[in-house]
Amino acid sequence: MGCAVGADPGVDAVGAELALTGGDGSALSAAVDTTAVAVSAASIASGELVRAGGRGHHEPVTDLFEVAGGHWRGPCSLIYPGHPESVLDFEMEREVFPTEEPGRYTWRIIYRSDTFEQVRDYVMIEVDPARGYYVLDEDNGILIDHFLYPSGVLMSEFEVLGKRLTTREAFHGRRLHLEFVTTSMEPLTRSDLGDGFIIDSYPFFANQACDLERVPSLPTP
């Protein structure tokens, strides 16, 4: 599911993380400030967001496949909070090419290390490019909504087995930085400011970070 590495295709979104067993006026002001800078899903869908970091003064990205197309390859690490080193290092490849059906592109993902190889033949579908809206079809009944920011950042978020997975993919020309962050659905800390104003803070479990580069020498299917 999604893009995170995992041993079981049925719970890919959680990935290796599943192995873990693991007021006053100023506070109200901070909470309001936090709310003010948040971007709602409606704003993303309507195309109101004009920047998401990463591209500066460059022209806004309006076509996902223009920036994502091709064959990508690079290293990944699975990181847990508080661990000075990654708990798993591996390679990721992604192949994005048009299919015979308009508006559908291969989104093939390969995870590879000395001890395992996982291949996932997904398809990314244009739903409403003008709104930056795409859907990843995992070909197993699972559909994951994705939204493209004008800065060239592709985002998704979904829940599975009591965990939330947020993905962020930042395209920078021939380079692509991906992060797949896993958090709990249960809050770690709750701040009750009264009058129904409650702020929940959630723990982070794992971060899969990858740095890919487009590889022009590899043949197109």
pLDDT band at residue 6 under the 50/70/90 scheme: low
At a CB cut-off of 8 Å and minimum separation 6, what does 88 contact?
5, 16, 77, 78, 113
What's the pLDDT tens digit per position in 95-133? 999 999 999 999 999 999 999 999 999 999 999 999 999
| Residue that wins the pLDDT comparison between 185 and 8 | 185
> How is residue 196 written in tokens?
């129904």
pLDDT band at residue 9 under the 50/70/90 scheme: very low
pLDDT band at residue 219 under the 50/70/90 scheme: low
> How is residue 184 written in tokens?
């709990």
Q: Tell me how far apart the 2 most distant CA atoms of the chain are, in Å.
A: 61
Q: For the whole model, what pTM was predicted?
A: 0.73
What's the pLDDT tens digit per position in 141-176? 999 999 999 999 999 999 999 999 999 999 999 999
Domains and CATH numbers, the chain: 9-214 (2.40.128.20)
The yes-or-no verdict on residue 31 having pLDDT over 70 is no
3-class secondary structure per residue, 25-76: HHHHHHHHHHHHHCCCHHHHHCCCCCCCCCCCCCCCCCCHHHHHCEEEEEEE
Q: What is the pLDDT of residue 113?
A: 95
The average confidence (pLDDT) of the chain is 80
Q: What is the pLDDT of residue 11?
A: 34
Q: What is the pLDDT of residue 59?
A: 79
